[in-house]
Chains A and B, each alone.
Chain A
Amino acid sequence: KAGVTQTPRYLIKTRGQQVTLSCSPISGHRSVSWYQQTPGQGLQFLFEYFSETQRNKGNFPGRFSGRQFSNSRSEMNVSTLELGDSALYLCASSITGGIADTQYFGPGTRLTVL
């Protein structure tokens, strides 16, 4: 089975722009979670989607949003980019998102905001 894929792998934007990142989960996985990783804050949970619905949300401003499609692929969008949004954005998929259900991570998208 193919693993979790994320596109693009690298992205450079300027302040004020918006960006859309894409995640394709492992086949058969219906839960997709997004995380932000920065040197200062470490890995932080952004949100989780299951069956096209946002099921959980972390403590991030409304500039961060996401969606999930009927084929379980997910996108996240960041509007009005700030320098502090520079980070590695990670997507993880699991079958149902249950507590004993392993999350498998993609390689991440490295976003640099200038």
Chain B
Amino acid sequence: DAKTTQPPSMDCAEGRAANLPCNHSTISGNEYVYWYRQIHSQGPQYIIHGLKNNETNEMASLIITEDRKSSTLILPHATLRDTAVYYCIVRVSSNYQLIWGAGTKLIIKP
């Protein structure tokens, strides 16, 4: 079973920051949080991952709480092309595989 909980859907205005929350209260100390997104049933696209420190790359920022029980993905300036299903995944330490939940459907509105 997925170790993460995400809201099923969210809206965001174009040009604004999109903040996608994720709860992972049972995460273990050596397990990473990964974010992917999927557009129109294409292959999932990697966004970012982190262990305990905040991370930033050209696509997004990942903010992980100090207790590691939740995180937030931030898309700083959302565009219409950011409309997708966003998956927050805890990569389990038993076999390093990605256990997927239902994700958040993010709709960017003009």
Contacts and interface: CB of A to CB of B under 8 A. Distances in A.
- Residues of A contacting B: mostly: strand
Interface residues of B, number: 24
B97 A48 contact: yes
Interface in A30-68: 33, 35, 37, 42-45, 48, 55-56, 58
Contacts, number: 58
Interface of B: 30-32, 34, 36, 41-46, 49, 51, 87, 91, 93, 95-102
A84 to B, nearest CB: 18
Contact of A105 (B31, B44, B102): B44
Interface of A: 4, 33, 35, 37, 42-45, 48, 55-56, 58, 88, 90, 92, 97-108, 110
B51 A100 contact: yes
A33 B36 CA distance: 16
Contacts of A110: 41
B97 A105 contact: no
